[in-house]
Structure formats: structure tokens, C-alpha cells
Amino acid sequence: MHPDTITIAPGTTPAEILRIGIEAARGPVSLACSFSLEDVAIIDIAHRAGLPLGVFAIDTGRLNEETYEVADALVERYRLKVEWYFPHHEDVEALERTKGLFSFRESTDNRKECCQVRKVEPLSRALKGLAGWVTGMRREQSPSRTDLRALERDDLNGGILKINPLIDWTEEELLAYTAEHRLPKNRLYSQGYRSIGCAPCTRAVREGEEVRAGRWWWEDPDNKECGLHRR
């Protein structure tokens, strides 16, 4: 079913968006989990609603220890099975041998090359065989996400369905849900982080900065995507 033929009314809950999306996909659907507040909330929502949602994660080789702690807590709490994907070691070795360990800070092209090796290529393998995938993206997060829709066709990944159940949630709503249900929470959030990715590419956010200002902070603020969500 094409997502353009599905009407998502204003005010539709994340649980209902998930249900509609999973039914529309007509096949297996998994959450791309980075163990952010958003992804943890989606796992809890799906669990409470009894929805058949798989979970996969990409280990770039540069995640924070605190991120692994959240993954372990989720496995324990929900008896969750996480399908882990890793970059091809030959590609990582070639990149670091030819350009060094921090080439991603030299230019946007170099940063995108690193993301391609460590994130995008593993994602393409993770999505094989799926009819749909779920993300924790919210419109409020950055200028590049303001035109998100709840259900989208992902033409860059074989035309499968992309489900964004939290697009209308504010950060305040997300934090309230996390607190209400006492969900596992990355310890870095208490240190001023508001969006957490690879350790060398993420910093705490300063007062007055937008949510994703701590991601690739040396780059143009309108270009805060790693390639996982190309449109």
C-alpha cells in the first residue's frame, strides 16, 4: 500500500501510527534503534500495544559506553532481541589507513564518507527482507526534518515503508513519557546531551541551542544528517 493513500489524522497517537504503519507494510517491520529517548519510547509503546516490531541496531565502532548500557537495560526489561549490524571491517581499515582517524572533521564530504562506511552500508543490510522500518525522528529536532510525514515511501531502500510515529511529539512530551514510565535513559542526557550519536561526533548542547546542535557541531546547522535518512 502506498503511504500517500493512507490518511493520518492530526492528533493520531504514536501507538496508532505504529499500528497503521505495520498493517500497511504487510510484512516484517523493525525499529532502527540508536537507544535514544525516542527509540526507547517507541519500544515501550510497541510493547504496551502488543505490536509485532523487531529491533535492529548499528554498532559503528564508536558508540559511547552509556549507549551500550541502555541497550543492555532494554534487553533485560523487555526480553528484547536486538539484531546488531556492524560496518565491514575492510572498509573501516581502508578509510583509517588512507585518511586517518579523524578525517570526518576535515570536510562534510569526508564526514559523509565515514557515515557511509559506518552507518549507511550496514543499514542497507539491516533493511533487507523488511517491508518497513521505524524511526524516532521528530519534526522539532532540526530544520531538515520539518517536512516529515508519519508514513513515507523509502525509495532509496527499495520502496519499503518508513514509519515515523513520534513526528509531532515535542521534547517535553518525550521527556514526560520517559519519566512517567521510568524508561531506561542514557546517562549522557543528564550531562547536557540532547541527541546522541558516535562519541567523536557528539557533544553536549549549550543553552539556547537546538536539539541536534551537538551533532557534527563544526558543520552547517542545516546539514545535520548522516545519510540514514536521505530523502
| CA 16 to the chain's CA centroid | 20
Cβ 123 vs Cβ 87: under 8 Å: no
- Residues β-bridged to residue 215: 202
Q: How many CB atoms are closer than 10 A to CB 146?
A: 10
Q: By C-alpha distance, which of 10, 14, 17 is closest to 152?
A: 17
Cβ 173 vs Cβ 136: under 8 Å: no
Is 33 one of the annotated active-site residues of the chain? no
Q: What is the 3-state secondary structure (H, E, C) of 26-52?
A: CCCEEEECCCCHHHHHHHHHHHHHCCC
- Annotated active-site positions, please? 226
